[in-house]
Amino acid sequence: MPTGADELADARQAVTTLLPLAVQASGGMRPGEDRPNYLNRVRQLAVDLWLETSAESETVRRITELAACRTFTAVLLGVRIEPSTTRAILTLRSWGPDGQRQEEIRTDRTDDPRGVQTLELARSLVGHRVTVYKLEEPGRGRQLRYRCAKHLVDLGPDTTVHPDTAVHPDTAVHPGTALPGPPRPAREPTAAGHRPTGDGPAPPDPAGTRRPIRRRTATAPAAGTAPAAEPEHPQAPAPAPAAVALPIAQARHELLQAIDGDEEYRAAAVHGIMQRATTDGGGTILNVGLLRMLAARTPGPHTAAGQRILAGYRAPAPAG
């Protein structure tokens, strides 16, 4: 059983490791910030980093999950939302023993911060080569399992996308659909006037017994039958799903409802979250999904991190 001296030694070792990281993360002293406040901010960052090393932290849980994943490389062709599950469905072009294949894989639910994070990342990587971290997860039935994309790593824009294999983000594609390969080059006619169909050389025909290939001609439509009409305007695919956007007042009200605590604490937390908002200049927030994720991850008001949020909100702004 560890003694008090052992625990003190472990704490000192943790401080030695984490303090330089906290100093780097702090960004140095801010304009108008005095030394005591700066040191207090560095200490809180060091404590936050130490808490992330615990077995219950989101970072440890996330890394444990990714370590259990299998990976493969693919081109991300499109992203759409499955209304029945709120999961994002990624359309991918991958490679296997049979050549190129087009397939689909789901993400976590987008009513969960992890699913929102993967969705926003995927939307920014359409047309890129990516490394997909996938995990087999149990479905509703005992024998039912499905693949879930847990993370994507950007490998850069894909430069080999062909127009006939591009997929619109909202176009449904059946998993396992094989992509057409390049056309087979035409063979030169032989002396006997026929075109071989096999992959090997044409067999000799000294007696000239092979008959020339009959060329097919277009057949005229039967009398009284009108030819099929071409559509005047091809139907355009449905537009891609737009990012969630809300008026500032509505988004602020939604964030307040998502955070636990008294009125002052919720106002303090929303004040910090709104610093990350992106607006269109007309009073509309464009990245509501990110703000929802931050609200869901807001610590409780009685935690050390929650107390820091409240203290920062109460502190007067530095004099200009």
Residues 2-9 have a mean pLDDT of 77
pLDDT tier, 164 (very low <50, low <70, confident <90, very high otherwise): very low
What pLDDT, on a 0 to 100 scale, did the predictor assign at position 177? 41
Asked whether the predicted pLDDT for residue 40 surpasses 60, the reply is: yes
| Model confidence pLDDT, tens digit, residues 203-248 | 555 555 455 555 554 455 555 555 555 444 445 444 434 446 788 8
Per the model's pLDDT, the better-predicted residue between 175 and 282 turns out to be 282
Specify the residue for token string 């955070």.
259
Domains and CATH numbers, the chain: 8-53 (no CATH), 69-178 (2.40.50.140), 246-314 (no CATH)
Asked whether the predicted pLDDT for residue 84 surpasses 50, the reply is: yes
Instruction: State the Cα–Cα distance between residues 130 and 171, nearest whole angstrom.
Output: 20
Residue 281: left (phi > 0), alpha (psi -120 to 50), or beta?
Answer: left
| Helix residue ranges, H only, the chain | 4-26, 35-51, 58-67, 113-123, 248-258, 263-273, 288-296, 304-314
pLDDT tier, 56 (very low <50, low <70, confident <90, very high otherwise): confident
| Model confidence pLDDT, tens digit, residues 140-162 | 666 667 789 999 999 999 887 45
Tokens of 317: 């702004």
If you average pLDDT over every residue of the chain, what do you get? 76
Residue by residue, DSSP assigns 89-156 as EEEEEEEETTEEEEEEEEEEETTSHHHHHHHHHHHTTTTEEEEEEEEEEE-SSSS-EEEEEEEEEEEE
pLDDT tier, 303 (very low <50, low <70, confident <90, very high otherwise): confident
Asked whether the predicted pLDDT for residue 185 surpasses 50, the reply is: no
